[in-house]
Chains A and B, each alone.
Chain A
Amino acid sequence: MSHIFEVIYTSSQELLQEGERDLGVLAATEGTPPKFLEGISLHRSFPTSELTAESKGGEVAHKFLFRKIDGFLHLVQVNYAGADHTGRDKPYSHEVIFDQESTQKCIAPVKLAADYQNRLQWCNRLTDPKWLQPKQLPHVEKTSSEECLKTAVTLLGKDRLVAILDVLTLRKHDEFITVILPIDDWSDSIYRIVDVVLQCLPPHLQHGVMAQPGDVGSVPDDVKLVIAPTDSHFSRQVKSSSRPVIDLSSKNHRSINLQEPSPDGYGHQFVVEERLVLRSLWEFFDLEGVEGVKDSKHILRQEEVKNLDFKQRLEACSTSLVDVSNKKVQKHLGSEFASLLQNNIPSDCLPVCLKAIQATFREPEAAVQKLLSHCKEDLIKHNGPLNPVVRDALLKWLFSNSDAAQVPKSILKAHFETVPHPLREKVARQIAPTNSPDWITISWGHEKTGSESYVKRAANLLISRVQPDAEAVSSPAVRRLVQKALNTEKYWEDSLRRRVVTNRNVYEFDRYLMSFNITSSSQKPIWWPRGQSRVNSSGLTGSTFDRSVVTTRSSSGVSGVKEAILSVIPDSTLARFGLYGILVLAISSAVGLGISLAFQTQDDVANDQSKNSSMSNTRFELVKLQDDVKQKRKTLDPILTIEDYNAAWQFLIDETKQNNKLVGVVIATGISQPPKYTCPSLSEIEDLINSKSIVGFTLSDGKLNPVDGRHATWGLKKKPPMNESNQQESTPEAKGA
């Protein structure tokens, strides 16, 4: 059941709600929803800018609004009714609200609204609170488009009508047209103009009009046609601006700032081209705004090509189908398109058809398959370049049907870049299966797929496959794959997999990783065994370690470092940590000089001499230290800074404690300078040395002397008294420096 509600809002001593007074609802139709009675609406007020202290009720031009708010059409007329019971201005607002159902039922809301005009006059006389009786919907005859157009053109002229219809249909933000009317015939003129203009539009667009004397203030966004009287504040203001104005106040109608209408716009097509069917089309498809203009153009185009040949119809329909946004129009064109697809499609129409199918069909695969099934053989054999849309669709379909297996891999690889992105992983897996023995191929597959599952498979390879050849090792792509595989944490969380690795000879695995320049602990996976307890001792006997592979590198010029260290460190320890990048810090705090030493294997030298892998090993460690401490990279310098020294100490202690693992060998000389460094406490150092976690040396006469933990003189408290000459003697590297 449709509803039309009336609300009268004014200032009164008594209102409809008992106990209320002043501004409020005086009368309303029985059954009016409370939200229309409670809410304070902007349109219930009267513009006060034109009022003076002498203004009398009924003498001031009224305000008129025809808006759609929250889905309800509101027809509002607000009169100035003089002074109220408090001796101040009194607005008298009569509001007619059409609900959505009644809007749909009535053929033209504006005709219905015009019927209420007489009632508005009657309501002005109502002064006591009252519930109004519901009113029957009046019978309204539909006016034909031809009739509407004729009347409107006669009243306004073609150009002006086009402009008004355009702005009312396009509904662009902050755009409206102002029509200036003479004040003498204000009320009748408004209805005349609104009636003829709005009737040219489909019913659902028959709103967005405001007629107001005086200052309008800010025009609401949905109001597209503002009617103002001559010489009002607003009309003066708008005339001096760049907004379009139609001045109907004089005999010679004048247009200001009216722009050339778009030939695709509603106004031009309805008025100039006289496509009178447009009004019905807009109504039927519920078209609105800029999208409506575009959609209506496509519908009209469809009507035009109906009598043309199949190819043109197909092209027009497919193009429109992709472009339209209204669902009803899409459905309409979709059914037309589906009927066209029943025929054989010429190959040059394929791209546009495929686009249309992909854009509009809910399950486009079936339709594409059906379309391509007619011409699949031709397309595969096609020598020249295929249209990208057709090629993509074809590939997608082929892969979905496992037909791609028929295509040679070399061809697929060569054209890989043309494969649509969603399909690439599948194609890449076909070209480079993870069980391939070729490292280069697998790394290519990894690069192209970028998928996690692929990397997991590659991680398996890392464990079980053969050693990579020289080409694979030097390939950056392979290195990236290995690095990625090591860091696939979720994969390694599986304890079974970890056991596979740890049960293998760790040393062997280390060498394996060394092939890829992965030597520092920071690069290795976090689960990699770091302590004795986690290492299978059976694979770590001294016999597996060849001392001859170890060389040392010293920047201090101290000789015999290697021999001295090796003589102290037992074989078992070297086997455990030998190639892990032992950091040697030789500290002579007298001059703040540090010597960085690192072990390197002969393999390192052979494989990567130019990069000086031993130094880079050391750098890894120090960079890690610095990152931890300072969060910035710093190239290793032979002279250690205080921060490096402190950080190194901290690192040694932390690592040793946490992992129960030897990471460093500390060489120290007598410390003669006043304390500059944050040394660990004596007890801490002694503990470390006693537990053989750190091996200590002192440096005297250019030779390293191992320090027994029990008699170590670490730290500051037990330093021997030294004079200046002693100090220089005991720190020969200082001289060198």
Chain B
Amino acid sequence: MPSVSAKPAGRQAKCPHCWGDFFTRSETLYVTTSGEKVKPSLVADWDNPTDGSGHKFTTRRCCPHCNLEVSTRLLETNSIFISIVGTPSSGKTYFLASMYHKAKSQLTKDFHKGVNFPGISGELISRYFDRLVGGGDPNKLVDLPKTQEGGFELYSEIEVSGVTQQFPKPFTLRLTDPTTREAFAIVTYDNAGESFVSADRLSSNTKSIDHLEHCDMIVIVIDPVQIPELAAVLKDRGVQDPQLGKSSGTTQDEMLNSVLDRAVGLRGSEKKLLRTPVSVVIQKWDMLQKANLVPDIDRVDPSTGAQTPLFDESPLNVSQTGDTYVDTEEMRAISVAVRDVLYQYDPNIVNSLQASFEVVRYFPCSALGSSPELNPANNKYCFRPKNVQPYRVTDPLLWLLARERVLMPSGPSKFSTNFPASERLRKVNSSQFQIQSPYSPSRWINIDSEYLGLKHDSLLPDIDEKKWFVVKPRKFWKSSGQKSATGHEIYQSMSAEELQERHSKILEKSRNKKWFFWRRGEK
């Protein structure tokens, strides 16, 4: 007699297509050999599961909300969703393809993780990778096609109660730790820039950028060429790039505000958007480097005396135990420097982001590492695989993975000796601070709470002075009782002795306090 048993609920998962939540075992649809999608509740016998007509189950599974196929391995994996946002031709597709290409090698070689692209992502990503390498010919002119607003290659069409809706196809990278066997997935989407420019005007049936409602991080791709002031400076400084000088329609800050409108609309309130971390990727960084617009400042290892430029090639470092870690200290320092550059030419972007999000990091990036060539045959911008040298293209991803503790972040700073520490700090709002440079009392640098929420000292650059200073962790700061002219509370840093004294007081106070957790029988 067939055993009738209810299917256990399983874990809760989020569909990478429609972002609907469901339980992996009790709600996932099972695809039969006839192609039918069967609800688990309709299966009478789980020892020999079939649909009503006797067709057996395949290994394929579908989301109960959108009926689209979801990789079985992905169902058992924790996923984080990343929205990549940018204006048309800002380089989102190149960034996405290059990031995944580089991340695959970094995660496998440096972090010893297993990487795969499950489901339809494999096909989508391999197409991009094939294009990037140009079929093995390093001299061949290649390009990635412009991402369109529709098309069955990148979008899925779903009919919901008679209305056709379009969802973007996910690009999923799944990494597994061979030692712990834990898995983690990163899901991104490749949208046309036009969708973001008109984000606030998109119809409700167009779900192409609705991942903004569910994403765990927003990556904003900024094209320096589309900032008119910066483009003019680049041109003046002799940077040769065919894209320079082309006029741009919608400015990037307009696009950003349009996206923010949509995101707030989708999430319901600004507060719900506030906690989403944001990575601002300044594309085509190689052009800025060529134009000497990058404020470089070396870091000196006190133990070896070795000097490494802040904007070196990789955010990875190796600890004394031989483990590779993500140098988040370097990323924080770089973020401050890059933000300064961007603020100089388009302050509205920086201010808008600071007003809308708690944590914003700025990353320099060049997806290709070189300027494109104009193909005379068809007037298209192309590049040659031999010139492709991606620069820090994985930084946002590594930062997020380190933040989620999937990868190891940097521990105590090995560079923080022999530098003066900042002594004053003012609190701008619940998550934003301004720290005073020890070299110039009038210079206040914006930082967020994550800069202080560390256990150890970390280094920050004073870009104007081209010098480093130390930022003490949160426990070293005490309120000075003063307020700035703008009404912000001012904090004073404490010395180690003061901190020790403070700790002793707290300890003494706690000893004098009567505690109620003595063991039974003890006095």
State yes or no: do A and B come from one complex.
yes
Whether B152 and A88, one on each chain, are in contact in the complex, defined by CB atoms closer than 8 angstroms, is no
Whether A23 and B243, one on each chain, are in contact in the complex, defined by CB atoms closer than 8 angstroms, is no
Whether A24 and B142, one on each chain, are in contact in the complex, defined by CB atoms closer than 8 angstroms, is no
Q: Which of B192-208 contact A (CB under 8 A)?
A: 192-195, 197-198, 201-203, 205-206, 208
Whether A86 and B246, one on each chain, are in contact in the complex, defined by CB atoms closer than 8 angstroms, is yes
Q: Does B414 contact A (CB under 8 A)?
A: no
Write out, one digit per residue, whether chain B residues 140-183 have a CB within 8 A of any chain A CB (1) or not (0): 11110110111111111101001110100000000000000000
Q: Does A264 contact B (CB under 8 A)?
A: no
Whether A38 and B201, one on each chain, are in contact in the complex, defined by CB atoms closer than 8 angstroms, is yes
- What are the residues of chain A within 8 A of B59 when measuring CB–CB? none
Q: Which of A589-641 contact B (CB under 8 A)?
A: none
Of B45-53, B294-302, B358-366, B379-387, the one touching chain A? B379-387
Whether A49 and B153, one on each chain, are in contact in the complex, defined by CB atoms closer than 8 angstroms, is yes
- What are the residues of chain B within 8 A of A422 when measuring CB–CB? none
Whether B242 and A87, one on each chain, are in contact in the complex, defined by CB atoms closer than 8 angstroms, is yes
Number of chain A residues close to chain B: CB under 8 A:
49
Known contacts: A88-B89, A221-B159. The answer to whether A56 contacts B377 by CB under 8 A is yes
Partner of A87, one of B197, B202, B243: B243
Q: Which of A25-71 contact B (CB under 8 A)?
A: 35, 38-49, 51-57, 69-70
Whether B378 and A56, one on each chain, are in contact in the complex, defined by CB atoms closer than 8 angstroms, is yes
Q: Does B503 contact A (CB under 8 A)?
A: no
A41 to B203, CA, bound (A): 11
Q: Does A286 contact B (CB under 8 A)?
A: no
Q: Does A519 contact B (CB under 8 A)?
A: no
- What are the residues of chain B within 8 A of A408 when measuring CB–CB? none
Whether B142 and A53, one on each chain, are in contact in the complex, defined by CB atoms closer than 8 angstroms, is yes
Q: Does B88 contact A (CB under 8 A)?
A: yes
- What are the residues of chain B within 8 A of A20 when measuring CB–CB? 198, 249
Of A186-194, A210-218, A448-456, the one touching chain B? A210-218
Q: Which of A100-115 contact B (CB under 8 A)?
A: none
Task: Please name the residue on chain A nearest to B166 by beta carbon.
Answer: A42
User: Shortest Cβ distance from B186 into chain A, in angstroms?
Assistant: 22
A219 to B242, CA, bound (A): 38
A51 to B145, CA, bound (A): 8
Known contacts: A82-B379, A86-B88, A88-B89. The answer to whether A39 contacts B153 by CB under 8 A is no
A219 to B157, CA, bound (A): 9
Q: Does B375 contact A (CB under 8 A)?
A: yes
Partner of B149, one of A23, A57, A82: A23
User: Shortest Cβ distance from A559 into chain B, in angstroms?
Assistant: 48
A70 to B195, CA, bound (A): 22
A23 to B192, CA, bound (A): 9
Whether A217 and B206, one on each chain, are in contact in the complex, defined by CB atoms closer than 8 angstroms, is no
Interface size class of B (residues with CB under 8 A): 35 or more
User: Shortest Cβ distance from B76 into chain A, in angstroms?
Assistant: 24
Whether A54 and B156, one on each chain, are in contact in the complex, defined by CB atoms closer than 8 angstroms, is no
Partner of B151, one of A42, A56, A85: A42
Partner of A174, one of B35, B143, B243: B35
Q: Does B374 contact A (CB under 8 A)?
A: yes
A398 to B152, CA, bound (A): 63
A22 to B198, CA, bound (A): 11
Q: A40-B149, A87-B242 are in contact. List 7 more A-B contacts (CB 8 A).
A: A22-B197, A38-B203, A40-B150, A44-B149, A82-B379, A88-B89, A88-B381
- What are the residues of chain B within 8 A of A218 when measuring CB–CB? 152, 156-157
Whether B378 and A217, one on each chain, are in contact in the complex, defined by CB atoms closer than 8 angstroms, is no
Partner of A217, one of B151, B192, B372: B151
User: Shortest Cβ distance from B402 into chain A, in angstroms?
Assistant: 34
Q: Does B127 contact A (CB under 8 A)?
A: yes
Q: Which of A192-244 contact B (CB under 8 A)?
A: 215-221
Interface centre among B152, B193, B249, B381 (most CB of A within 10 A): B152
A84 to B249, CA, bound (A): 14
Partner of A215, one of B153, B205, B378: B153
Whether B150 and A43, one on each chain, are in contact in the complex, defined by CB atoms closer than 8 angstroms, is yes
User: Shortest Cβ distance from B170 into chain A, in angstroms?
Assistant: 13
Q: Does A21 contact B (CB under 8 A)?
A: yes
Whether A87 and B380, one on each chain, are in contact in the complex, defined by CB atoms closer than 8 angstroms, is yes
Q: Does A669 contact B (CB under 8 A)?
A: no
Task: Please name the residue on chain B nearest to A91 by beta carbon.
Answer: B148
A152 to B152, CA, bound (A): 30
Write out, one digit per residue, whether chain A residues 532-553 have a CB within 8 A of any chain B CB (1) or not (0): 0000000000000000000000
User: Shortest Cβ distance from A451 into chain B, in angstroms?
Assistant: 33
Known contacts: A24-B194, A40-B206, A219-B152. The answer to whether A48 contacts B145 by CB under 8 A is yes
Whether B35 and A173, one on each chain, are in contact in the complex, defined by CB atoms closer than 8 angstroms, is yes
User: Shortest Cβ distance from B387 into chain A, in angstroms?
Assistant: 14
Q: Does A89 contact B (CB under 8 A)?
A: yes
Whether A87 and B166, one on each chain, are in contact in the complex, defined by CB atoms closer than 8 angstroms, is no
Partner of A49, one of B127, B198, B379: B127
A69 to B165, CA, bound (A): 11
Q: Which of B366-408 contact A (CB under 8 A)?
A: 372, 374-375, 377-382
Task: Please name the residue on chain A nearest to B158 by beta carbon.
Answer: A221
| Chain A contact residues, majority secondary structure | loop
User: Shortest Cβ distance from B436 into chain A, in angstroms?
Assistant: 44
Whether B380 and A40, one on each chain, are in contact in the complex, defined by CB atoms closer than 8 angstroms, is no
Known contacts: A69-B164, A218-B156, A221-B159. The answer to whether A88 contacts B151 by CB under 8 A is no
Write out, one digit per residue, whether chain A residues 313-350 have a CB within 8 A of any chain B CB (1) or not (0): 00000000000000000000000000000000000000
A210 to B339, CA, bound (A): 48
Whether B205 and A39, one on each chain, are in contact in the complex, defined by CB atoms closer than 8 angstroms, is yes
- What are the residues of chain A within 8 A of B157 when measuring CB–CB? 42, 218, 220-221
Whether B152 and A53, one on each chain, are in contact in the complex, defined by CB atoms closer than 8 angstroms, is no
Q: Does A500 contact B (CB under 8 A)?
A: no
Known contacts: A39-B203, A53-B143, A173-B35. The answer to whether A83 contacts B153 by CB under 8 A is no
- What are the residues of chain B within 8 A of A53 when measuring CB–CB? 140-143, 375, 380, 382
Q: Does A145 contact B (CB under 8 A)?
A: no
Task: Please name the residue on chain B nearest to A217 by beta carbon.
Answer: B152
- What are the residues of chain B within 8 A of A169 when measuring CB–CB? none
Known contacts: A88-B89, A220-B152. The answer to whether A22 contacts B194 by CB under 8 A is yes
Interface centre among B151, B197, B208 (most CB of A within 10 A): B151
Whether B378 and A11, one on each chain, are in contact in the complex, defined by CB atoms closer than 8 angstroms, is no
Partner of A54, one of B149, B195, B372, B375: B375
Whether A47 and B378, one on each chain, are in contact in the complex, defined by CB atoms closer than 8 angstroms, is no
A-B contact pairs, 23 of them (CB 8 A): A13-B249, A20-B249, A22-B88, A22-B197, A23-B88, A40-B150, A40-B206, A42-B150, A44-B150, A53-B143, A53-B382, A54-B375, A69-B164, A70-B164, A82-B380, A83-B378, A87-B242, A87-B381, A216-B152, A218-B156, A219-B152, A220-B152, A221-B159
Whether A86 and B164, one on each chain, are in contact in the complex, defined by CB atoms closer than 8 angstroms, is no
- What are the residues of chain B within 8 A of A23 when measuring CB–CB? 88, 148-149, 192, 194
Known contacts: A38-B203, A42-B155, A87-B243. The answer to whether A70 contacts B163 by CB under 8 A is yes
Interface centre among A11, A44, A83, A87 (most CB of B within 10 A): A87
Interface centre among A19, A88, A221 (most CB of B within 10 A): A88
- What are the residues of chain B within 8 A of A46 when measuring CB–CB? 148, 151
What are the 5 closest A-B residue pairs judged by CB atoms, nearest first?
A45-B151, A217-B152, A48-B145, A21-B249, A45-B148
A341 to B89, CA, bound (A): 74
Q: Which of A270-284 contact B (CB under 8 A)?
A: none
Interface centre among A20, A56, A218 (most CB of B within 10 A): A218
Task: Please name the residue on chain B nearest to A78 by beta carbon.
Answer: B151
Whether B374 and A87, one on each chain, are in contact in the complex, defined by CB atoms closer than 8 angstroms, is yes
Q: Which of B318-362 contact A (CB under 8 A)?
A: none
Task: Please name the residue on chain B nearest to A57 by beta carbon.
Answer: B378
A91 to B88, CA, bound (A): 15
A87 to B140, CA, bound (A): 18
A52 to B142, CA, bound (A): 7
User: Shortest Cβ distance from B93 into chain A, in angstroms?
Assistant: 10
A19 to B127, CA, bound (A): 34
Write out, one digit per residue, whether chain B residues 89-118 have a CB within 8 A of any chain A CB (1) or not (0): 100000000000000000000000000000
Known contacts: A39-B206, A40-B208. The answer to whether A55 contacts B378 by CB under 8 A is yes
Write out, one digit per residue, whether chain A residues 6-25 have a CB within 8 A of any chain B CB (1) or not (0): 00000101000001111110
